[in-house]
Amino acid sequence: MSSIYKTGIILSNEFDESDAMDIITSKYTMTYVPAKDATNSCLNVAQIIYNYDGITANTVFRIIAKVSWSGFDTSSTAGTFGMWWQGSNRKISGPTWAWEGTNYICSALNSQYSPKNLVLSASSGSYIYDTTFTLPDSWRSTYDGSNIGFRADYSNGVGRITVNDIRIILDKYSSSSNVKSHIGNDYIAGKEFIEI
């Protein structure tokens, strides 16, 4: 049970710093130069396997990805440039990775800002993806993990995108410029804890 006393003393079963609550299980190469004039030029950035109990259709996850880019354009004459977040899902049976089912992480990232539109918005820049997703019962009955990455078609062979940081946390532990902390029945979560 969390308690805050008039003396300024806080008691709780658990104190959690938001950045330390990352549940991504593997991170890979973070810089990607899509092949020139190719289709299906891909990079896998991270992987998550949901290996703990308590996830329901109402569990809200937050994904934060900091990306930077340079050099993209639409100059390829082989086809129309495109880029998007994508990744396979891990089937519980097996377990095996398969290109089937909805990847809810990548869908949430694409919905916030299309990577194609992002990298064409300026010759170079940086952006922070910060959005949420849930996993329906129907998905969790078949899959227990997802890959997170990019696919590009018909790039110029020069453009580069880098994922400077990527994290997935339970939204109840997240913090932002508007929400500095969360106080639950048995935990307190915040961006930073400083003991005096």
Strand arrangement, sheet containing 31-32: 31-32, 160-170, 61-70, 124-133
Residue 36 in domain: yes
- Which domain, by its residues, includes 91? 17-173
The 10s digit of each residue's pLDDT in 95-144 is 999 999 999 999 999 999 999 999 999 999 999 999 999 999 999 999 99
Residue 1 in domain: no
CATH code assigned at 44? 2.60.120
The 10s digit of each residue's pLDDT in 41-93 is 999 999 999 987 889 999 999 999 999 999 999 999 999 999 999 999 999 99
Rounded to two decimals, the pTM is 0.83
Residue 20 per-residue DSSP state: G
How many independent structural domains does the chain possess? 1
Q: What is the largest CA-CA distance in the chain?
A: 69
Residue 178 in domain: no
Residue 189 in domain: no
Residue 35 in domain: yes
Residue 97 in domain: yes
Residue 93 in domain: yes
H/E run at residue 109: helix 104-112
End-to-end Cα distance, the chain:
22
Residue 91 in domain: yes
Q: Helix, strand or coil for residue 65?
A: strand
